[in-house]
């Protein structure tokens, strides 16, 4: 049995992983009315992502999460080598490198912990409404 509902809002964000939470938060901080939807009735407890880059670090800093000194975010000061059975280097990653914007190129994180932090900030915004346990099957947009 399906249940239809009509709500007016500026933006609907579908999916409340880190990207959806961050999009909802940034839009909410700019004053947009946001409905953020996720099909799971509670936050998903397992990580699906484990790393982010300097661009995400910069965006997180804009909402008060500093990736360089946050206890839930880590970075490595070494090299990562993928080698084959003949000891040929297939891939080398310099974890300590920084981008032109000053942030490290790679950070490690626990997705459930970061999502909890983002939800905490998000719930302080009165113009953002989280709806858990909803799956979107159709939507309509008008020109108003």
The predicted-structure confidence for 61-100, as pLDDT tens digits, reads as follows: 999 999 999 998 998 878 888 899 999 999 988 878 899 9
Residue 94: per-residue pLDDT: 80
Question: Which CA distances in Å does 87 have to 59, 79, 80, 91, 94?
Answer: 38, 15, 14, 11, 18
Q: Which domains does the chain have, with CATH numbers?
A: 1-45+112-144 (3.50.50.60), 51-109 (no CATH)
Asked whether residue 15 carries a pLDDT value surpassing 50, the answer given is: yes
Asked whether residue 19 carries a pLDDT value surpassing 80, the answer given is: yes
Spatial separation of the C-alpha atoms in residues 20 and 18, rounded to whole Å: 6
| Least confident piece of the model among 68-72, 112-116, 135-139 | 135-139
Mean pLDDT of 96-121: 93
- pTM to 2 decimal places: 0.83
Strand extents, DSSP E, 7-138: 11-14, 34-38, 51-52, 73-74, 79-83, 89-94, 107-109, 128-132
Asked whether residue 115 carries a pLDDT value surpassing 80, the answer given is: yes
């Amino acid at each position: 049995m399906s249940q239809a509902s009509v709500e007016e809002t500026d933006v609907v964000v579908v999916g409340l992983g880190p990207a959806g939470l961050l999009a909802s938060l940034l839009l909410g901080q700019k004053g947009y009315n946001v409905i953020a939807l996720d099909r799971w009735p509670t936050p998903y407890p397992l990580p699906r992502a484990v790393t982010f880059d300097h661009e995400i670090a910069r965006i997180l800093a804009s909402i008060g999460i500093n990736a360089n000194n946050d206890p839930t975010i880590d970075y490595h000061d070494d090299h990562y080598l993928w080698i084959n059975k003949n000891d040929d280097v297939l891939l080398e990653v310099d974890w300590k490198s920084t981008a032109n914007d000053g942030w490290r190129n790679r950070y490690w994180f626990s997705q459930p912990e970061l999502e909890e932090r983002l939800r905490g900030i998000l719930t302080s915004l009165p113009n953002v409404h989280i709806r858990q346990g909803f799956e979107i099957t159709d939507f309509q947009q008008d020109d108003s």
